[in-house]
Structure 1
Amino acid sequence: MKHSAKHVYEKMVDFKRFGTILLAVGAFFYLGAIIPSAANSMTDLYMMMAASTGFLAGSIFFFTVSKQYRTKLTEMDEGEEYLMKK
């Protein structure tokens, strides 16, 4: 299956955005878990830590996929011009 350089570049940028958004959401859940509050029960803390871990794992996954698309783009002949857009 042959992809054009523009298609690969757009996928790389999209996956990087997904990773950034998941990283931010995971950080907010982590902050909610470590900031002390009298209303938080242990179950709430465990759920927030599990959500934080899940979002951060998803972020790592999306950044890895973005990196794979970037290496695929560097191997393409016309891929270098898309990488110079940054």
Structure 2
Amino acid sequence: MNKKLKNLSAKMIDYKRFAITLLCVGSFFYLGTILPTEGKTAFDVNGYMLASVLFLAASIGCFLQSSRYKKNLAELNELDSQ
């Protein structure tokens, strides 16, 4: 049981790190859309926006998965303490 708890805890931490990294990358792509530069075409702006939305959606997915693992970990800790 202890090995399973450690595994769930490691997965929860990993998914949270993935989510934070994806959130940072998505915000940099968003900054690429709002900062004015010479020669930026509509295709570039749309590409940056699409990348930003995809990275932010993946970040939300990773945060949700991390919270699921956290919930499972809390349930197993509760069962283990009984």
Instruction: Give me the TM-score of the superposition, normalised by structure 2.
Output: 0.89
Query: Secondary structure of the equivalent of 1:37?
Result: coil
What CA deviation, in whole Å up to 9, does each residue of 1:7-62 have, x standing for no partner?
Answer: 00000000000000000000000001101112210000000000000000000000
The list of structure 1 runs, each at least 4 consecutive aligned residues, that deviate by more than 3 angstroms after superposition, is none
The AA in structure 2 aligned to 1:32 is G
Q: Could you tell me how far 1:72 is from its partner in structure 2?
A: 0.2
CA distance in 1, matches of 2:60, 2:79: 24
The AA in structure 1 aligned to 2:59 is S
The AA in structure 1 aligned to 2:24 is A
CA distance in 1, matches of 2:51, 2:79: 36
% identical equivalent positions: 42
CA distance in 2, matches of 1:65, 1:74: 14
Paired residues in the alignment total 78
Give yes or no for the alignment of 1:62 onto 2:34: no
Identify the structure with the greater helix proportion: 2
Deviates more, 1:55-64 or 1:33-42: 33-42
Q: Where does the alignment leave 5 or more consecutive residues of structure 2 unmatched?
A: none
Corresponding position of 2:76: 76
What is the RMSD computed on CA atoms of the aligned residues? 1.9
* Contact map agreement 1:12 1:69 (CA 8 A) in 2: yes
Q: How does 1:2-81 map to 2 (within 5 A)?
A: 4-77=4-77
Using a 3 Å threshold, how does the CA distance of structure 1 residues 73 and 62 change in structure 2: closer, same or farther?
same
